Structure 1
Amino acid sequence: MMRKAAAGDLDGIRACAAASYAMYIPRIGRKPAPMVADFDTHLARGELFVAESGGAVAGYVVQYRRGDHLHVENVAVDPVYQGRGIGRSLLDFAEQAALAQGLSAIELYTNAKMTENLALYPRLGYEETARGTEDGFDRVFFRKALRAKP
């Protein structure tokens, strides 16, 4: 079940971020940005959504409009729930939100050392648009053109 996050979800969201991104600390040399994100602000702005399973936060997505596209700031699935299609469902949810807002694209980024994502996003229809350093992280930027489904 996908829904807008509530204040009661914040501990679960933080735990999900910690569990899903912990494996990247040795690669990056510090906590990845999602582990230190300001979820309180995202919640207050209505940018935070959760995938729920059995009353628990199984995953989440932070998304908001940025110019001509929907920007996915962060998407994660708790390792306990990985392999069940939740991550794909969260991205589908974001794509539907973009289309509902009349947007024709979705953009996101990943850390260059998160090599799994570098292979995943192109399989999901995202095209790499740039690489660069942002907020002290080496990032790879992706964009996916969207079309409304008949």
Structure 2
Amino acid sequence: MDKGFDIRQAQAADETAVRECAQGAYERYVAAMGRKPAPMVADFAALIAAGVVHVAVGQDAEVLGFIVFYQEGEQVLLENVAVRPTAAGRGIGKHLIAFCEAEAKRSNATSVKLYTNEKMTENLSIYPHLGYRETERKTEDGFNRVFFEKFI
């Protein structure tokens, strides 16, 4: 257990907790974006069944955060990372991202790619601080996205 939580692969029984975590983490962006961000409407059951969701679990077995990532060719796509608002500020998101990067290295990926919405302004400074560089901005699926990549 690291800093009061452990990271493990999500199980079907985690779906509700993962969905609630996404809801809590992203609901503050709904007004600014004019609709729910993509992570709020994701098919978590299918993602969990595909084995691409990992959860950060507290000592009491509560899901504190989660990450969705998978390999695409030589890159790993970090599709989603979220932390419950009640668990924010404990480094859980950074540990989840580091876990993704370690798994990417283990699978011989060359880089980790991700995107965020331009309205999620704090992410625009967090990802460069973690070593990611902005590679592109474009509108995709009706969202104004900012793309990042980190070579590992």
Q: TM-score, normalised by structure 2?
A: 0.95
Distance in 2 between residues matched to 1:135 and 1:64, nearest whole Å? 20
Show structure 2 runs of 5+ residues with no match. Answer: 1-5
Shift of 1:51: 0.4
Distance in 2 between residues matched to 1:82 and 1:47, nearest whole Å? 22
Structure 2 equivalent of residue 123 of structure 1: 129
Q: How does 1:45-60 map to 2 (within 5 A)?
A: 45-53=50-58, 54-60=60-66
Distance in 1 between residues matched to 2:80 and 2:46, nearest whole Å? 14
Of 22, 39, 48, which residue of structure 2 is paired with 1:43? 48
Q: Name the count of aligned residue pairs.
A: 146
Of 21, 29, 34, which residue of structure 2 is paired with 1:24? 29
Q: Does 1:10 align with 2:15?
A: yes
C-alpha offsets along residues 79-134 of structure 1, whole Å, 9 cap, x if unaligned?
01000000000000000110010112100000011000001100010000000011
C-alpha offsets along residues 14-64 of structure 1, whole Å, 9 cap, x if unaligned?
000000001000110110000000111111111011000121110000000
Other structure's SS at 1:73 match: strand
Structure 1 equivalent of residue 95 of structure 2: 89
Distance in 1 between residues matched to 2:74 and 2:136, nearest whole Å? 17
Distance in 1 between residues matched to 2:116 and 2:132, nearest whole Å? 12
Distance in 2 between residues matched to 1:21 and 1:27, nearest whole Å? 11
Aligned partner letter, 2:43: D
Distance in 2 between residues matched to 1:141 and 1:134, nearest whole Å? 11
Other structure's SS at 2:131 match: coil
Determine what percentage of the aligned residue pairs are the same residue: 49
Distance in 1 between residues matched to 2:94 and 2:112, nearest whole Å? 14
Of 50, 58, 73, which residue of structure 2 is paired with 1:67? 73
CA RMSD of aligned residues (A): 0.6
Q: Give runs of ≥4 in structure 1 deviating > 3 Å.
A: none
Show structure 1 runs of 5+ residues with no match. Answer: none
Aligned partner letter, 1:46: G
Q: TM-score, normalised by structure 1?
A: 0.96
